[in-house]
Amino acid sequence: MLLRIGLLVALTVVAVLVALILQRRRPEPPSSPSYRSIAEIDRSEFAHPDEPLLVVMFGSTTCRTCPLVWDVIESLDVPAERVDVEDDPQRHQRYRIDGVPTTVVVERTGVVRTTFFGPLSRAQLEETLGGP
C-alpha cells in the first residue's frame, strides 16, 4: 500500500515538472509596438515655427503608408514637415516615435493638439485643423 502511494506521489511530481517545462518552452506572443502620444514639441526644431499650426509627419522611406499620408497633408494648405527616420533619427528618438507614420498637429506653443497613428484621411485632418 505504501509502495502504491509513493508511486502515485512520484508520478504526480513528474507530471507537474513536465507541465512546467512544457509551459516555459512555449514561445512568447509577438509584442506589438507601444504607440505613445507626444504631448509637446519644440517648434524651433521644425519648419514654420511662427505659424499657428504645424503638421509633422514622422515617417520612413521604406513605409508604404507614409507617401499616402504625406499626400493628404500636402493636399491641404497648412504648414507641414516630413521627418523620415533615415534622415533624422535623432528627432525620432527624442520624441520616442515607435511606429510610422505618426502624424502630429502642433500649436504655435508646441502643445500637440492631436496625434494620428497610421493611415490618415483628409476629413480627419480637416476636422482637427478646424474645417475644410
Q: Give the CA-trace dihedral at 41, 47, 52, 58, to 10 degrees.
A: -50
Task: Tell the residue number behind the cell numbers 522611406, with chain if given.
Answer: 61
Q: Which residues of 65-79 are buried (b: 16+ CB within 10 A; e: fewer)?
A: ebeebbebbeeeebb
- Domain positions in the chain are 43-129
In sequence order, which ranges of the chain are alpha helices (DSSP H)?
Answer: 2-25, 66-74, 89-94, 122-129
| pLDDT values of the chain reduced to their tens digit, one per residue, 132 residues | 777 777 777 778 777 777 767 667 666 555 555 567 889 999 999 999 999 999 999 999 999 999 999 999 999 999 999 999 999 999 999 999 989 999 999 999 999 999 999 999 999 999 999 865
Residue 22's pLDDT is 66
Q: Give the CA-trace dihedral at 45, 50, 54, 57, to 10 degrees.
A: -20
Residue 26's pLDDT is 61
Residue 132's pLDDT is 58
Residue 28's pLDDT is 58
Q: Are 124 and 116 in contact (CB under 8 A)?
A: yes
For the whole prediction, is pTM greater than 0.85? Answer: no
Residue 83's pLDDT is 98
* Phi/psi of residue 38, nearest 5 degrees: -90, 130
C-alpha to C-alpha distance for 121 and 131, rounded to whole angstroms: 13
CATH architecture assignment, domain 43-129: 3-Layer(aba) Sandwich (3.40)
